[in-house]
Chains A and B, each alone.
Chain A
Amino acid sequence: MGKKKNSYSMILVIISILVVFVIIKYIAPYVFMIVLAKDHTMPTPSTLILWYMILAILGALVYVSTSDLKWAKFLSFILPAGDDKTKAILQKMIIVAFPVLVGWFVYSGTAPGTASPVELRIQHPTLLQEFEKLENPFAHVNEETKKRYIEEGKILYQQNCRPCHGSKADGNGPFANAFRLRPINFTDPGTIATVVESFAFWRIRDGGPGLPGASTPWDSAMPSWKDTLNDEQIWKIIMGEYVTAGVVARQREKIEH
């Protein structure tokens, strides 16, 4: 009878999971730094690492249990090693590493630290009903007037919004670094491009203090501008701001059937 070859699929699974971890934790921050031309690395948030690792483990377990044979091979690694010395060493490593890993998880989860709390943020606070049907009063003026208003809006933007949101509307104004939650980068297509203009109007007019209670936790340093600017000026700023950022507001759609 020939000698049966030991299966190392459990070790392959562990190595694959470790490779995924190294990519997410150590390689991705540098890749993003280079690809996005940043001057610092972009560390992967701990929540994402946790989610992605759960998925990696799930994927690996799904794969090794897709047939009885694969599953048996996977589990067979815990059987006595016999003459296979490599297997014996690896088995010992697993037996030591597993409780150490669990212990480390428990320790890092319970040891007192000084980290600030993790916050669950909501992208868009709920727009009040009174703003829903609000339309830009300058939406239907002729082209020439529109251009003039946009230029006026750009100037108003630079006068009032630039310090935080930056001259290019990219969220990099001179004050930006002073905020824990940085001012929004309007050139990012996931920000003002996803909302209707009346939403932007509400945010500028009422700012952080005007947020409804249900929208917490939402720490916004945005001031309320209703005492400084009149409604017309705010609408002009909106027109100028979208052009400066190079994005278009969400358009209302015609309801028809």
Chain B
Amino acid sequence: MNTIKLFVSSTPKNLHLRIAFTLFLVIFFIALASSTSMAQENAETAEVAETVETEETVETAEPEAPAEPYEVVDYRNFFGLDGRLAIWIIAQLHLMFAAFVLGVPIFAVIVEIIGAKSGDIRFDNLAREFTKLLSAAFATTASLGGLMAFALYGLYPGFMRYMTDVFHPFMFIYAICFFGEAFCLYGYYYSWDLLAKKGKWFHITLGIMLNLFGTALMLLANSWATFMMAPGGINMETGTVQSLYHAFYNFLWMPLNIHRLIANVAFGGFVVGAYAAVKFMGARSHEEKAHYDWMGYIGNFVGLGALIPLPFAGYYLGREIYSASPVMGNIMMGGAFSWTFIIQAILIGMLFIGGNYYLWNGMSRIKGAERYTPYIKYINIIIIFCFAVWLTPHNLPLSGEERALIGEQYHPFSKFFGVMAAKNAVVNLLILSTFFSFLLYRRANKGETMPFSSHGKSAKVALIITAGLTILYLAWYALGLRGIELEENIRQYLSPLITCLVIQIIAIVITILLTFANRGKFAQAFLFGVTTITSVMYMAYYGFVVMEKANLVLRYLSVAQVSIVISCLIVNTIIDIFLFKNAKEVGGIQWGKIPLRAQYALLLLCVAIVTLMGLMGFIRSGLRMNWHIYGFMQDTSAGAFTPSIAYMGWTVSLIVIIFLALLAFVFWLAGLGEKKKQHS
């Protein structure tokens, strides 16, 4: 009876939701179909042109033609849908699942190692839960990969013929690595209980092997993608392979590898965070809530941790794209793709705000955090300010009247905020502020600290080694800058950068000495201050000087800026670890007592990073414009146009929805076994 009542009372609500969702999907597909009509129209025009040509040839041909010869085609469409669109969707979905499957094992193994070292079973269980999600997503990744390969060979046979000619030896290696990955993953997952006691380290080795095979797979596939952007090792006229090594290790390969590796970890972290958020909201018992709260925290921690170096890796990749082809670089940042970077800026801003918001809300479940909450408003103001500068475009949409009132090409806001010098400065400030939030969170429940000298020699040695390595890196880069061969009038602009690096080295030494003198907190603040003054304030100003007088120096300025910020993060982290070692606890963390708003923030983070990956995938691939292999093999199909921003927006949104739906389905499947266990 109760069930019937429940059914009756819940049906209308569910029904409304279903109808609303169906309507939404219908509208979505209609809109998508109308955008794709662009492609179809192009295809039709091309077909008409072809028919006209054929008609002309028919007129001149012999009336009795022999049986039709076998025709080699270069392009086909996907059941009437443009081939490019089909590949776009399939490839992006495959990449998203692959990112999850490659990113999660990296931190699953790390969490397992922490568990094995500390003997805390919670870490072991968490690593196991990550792996459960992994094994569920793995098969989907592989299926999508298969579909993608078939689609590529089916829809672009001409292009794939050439790619196979060049890369076939690596394709076999890819297949072998795939076997390795599959065996290691299933071995890792299913031997968890078997190796729990005696063979723990063997189990961890399996996990590391899984990572190695996964990374190898990614490196192989990356090489094909970057070969298409910046081909190497082939004759650009005839296509003859001159050096397979250079075709494989092409110019953009390494920058993309680094960028994708870090991005995969961030992606995995945020997706896992969203999974935990959903589970948290559905949890009934306190234990379950506490567990998923903690899991969400770890997911956000991993995601934010990887997000911090990501802009640097992205900048490196972007800069190398400029080096590979100034034209591609200009299209990317100043041309047809520049508006997509504004969307990217919004999404990255959302990630930083969302990540910080989660941390701030999380502080409410920590007793003692109230000492640090007053700082939140200042960090918030800084982050919002950075976000505003970060998304201000160089070219604004202006009406004629506004343009007349301003009286020149650029409004000062866009003139100063819209260029790389300002954006580099604010992204560094954004990272420093987020890191500061982390430190506050970490010390929220810590009270009186032990003096640094009480930690003994090992602490001193660890601090000296870390600071020493950081200083060595800074010195190495400064010396490198001195040795760069440039024209004398440009070279002089390098010396302020060297001075900044030297200042940072001195600051690190002073910080270490202060820490040794038991003034750790002051030392951290001092290093923060110096870093902000040199890398954010001074270098923002100097960026404009360099842009005007010697833009070639801008690339060195960005690297110096990043190096200074990273050195601050590393040294301050290690000081923080020892500073709060054995510190008195004010009150424990009450896991599970986090506002639901924070869980919605985790969901937002997941949607934002999935959309971001969809968008950036489009940009990376779309930069080739109408080339299969940039500068060598042109795409002559009807769909080889650069999509408008609206068309891109619809397609990326569709991809995001499909991915999230598939992911939810796969995770639900993974949870079925557990439910059965609980039942029995």
Contact = CB atoms under 8 A, between A and B. Distances in A.
B405 interface: yes
A55 B327 CA distance: 33
A118 B401 CA distance: 9
B438 interface: no
B363 interface: yes
Interface string A41-58: 011111110011001101
Given A45-B396, A123-B394, A214-B642, A171 B408 contact: yes
B412 A63 contact: no
Contact of A45 (B249, B322, B339, B411): B411
A180 B404 CA distance: 7
A111 to B, nearest CB: 15
Interface residues of A, number: 68
A189 B403 contact: no
B624 to A, nearest CB: 12
Contact of B392 (A42, A48, A121, A127): A48
A132 B326 contact: yes
Given A42-B411, A59-B381, A66-B361, A248 B326 contact: no
Contacts of B641: 214
A125 B335 contact: yes
Given A42-B406, A115-B401, A185-B409, A193 B548 contact: yes
Given A66-B360, A67-B364, A180-B400, A196 B395 contact: no
Interface in B383-412: 383-384, 387-388, 391-392, 394-412
Contacts of B338: 122-124
A191 B117 CA distance: 56
A58 B384 contact: yes
B205 interface: no
Interface stretch (B413-421, B566-574, B664-672): B413-421
Given A42-B406, A247-B548, A250-B551, A62 B353 contact: yes
Interface in A213-252: 214-215, 246-248, 250-252
A190 interface: yes
Interface in A15-59: 28, 32, 36, 38, 40, 42-48, 51-52, 55-56, 58-59
B380 A62 contact: yes
A126 interface: yes
A141 interface: no
Interface in B255-279: none
Contacts of B254: 257
A102 B64 CA distance: 75
A55 B419 CA distance: 20
Contacts of A42: 406-407, 411-412
Contact of B419 (A43, A132, A180, A190): A190
B336 A214 contact: yes
A253 B326 CA distance: 9
Contacts of A125: 335
Interface in A92-141: 115-127, 129, 131-132
Contacts of B490: 248
Contact of A122 (B336, B364, B405): B336
Nearest to A191: B409
B409 A182 contact: yes
B361 A67 contact: yes
Interface in B266-303: none
Given A59-B381, A184-B409, A190-B410, A126 B335 contact: yes
A44 to B, nearest CB: 7
Contact of A32 (B323, B387, B392, B412): B412
B544 interface: yes
B637 interface: no
Given A51-B391, A68-B595, A120-B397, A45 B326 contact: no
Nearest to B354: A62
B25 interface: no
Contacts of B353: 58, 62
A66 B440 CA distance: 14
A47 B396 contact: yes
A188 B547 CA distance: 9
Interface in A59-74: 59, 62-63, 65-69, 71
Contacts of A188: 409-410, 415
A116 B552 contact: no
A255 interface: yes
A118 B397 contact: yes
A207 to B, nearest CB: 17
A126 B625 contact: yes
A195 B326 CA distance: 8
Nearest to B421: A189
Among A28, A171, A188, A199, chain B packs the most CB atoms within 10 A around the CB of A188
A126 to B, nearest CB: 5
Nearest to A123: B334
A250 B404 contact: no
Contacts of A65: 357, 361, 597
Contact of B397 (A59, A62, A119): A119
Nearest to B346: A51
B357 A62 contact: yes
Contact of A67 (B249, B373, B551): B373
Interface of A: 28, 32, 36, 38, 40, 42-48, 51-52, 55-56, 58-59, 62-63, 65-69, 71, 115-127, 129, 131-132, 171, 180-182, 184-185, 188-191, 193-196, 199, 214-215, 246-248, 250-253, 255, 257
Please give me the 8 A-B residue pairs with the lowest Cβ-Cβ distance, nearest first: A116-B400, A59-B384, A124-B334, A189-B548, A123-B334, A189-B547, A66-B360, A253-B323
9 contacts: A42-B411, A45-B402, A63-B377, A67-B595, A116-B400, A126-B331, A188-B410, A190-B418, A195-B326
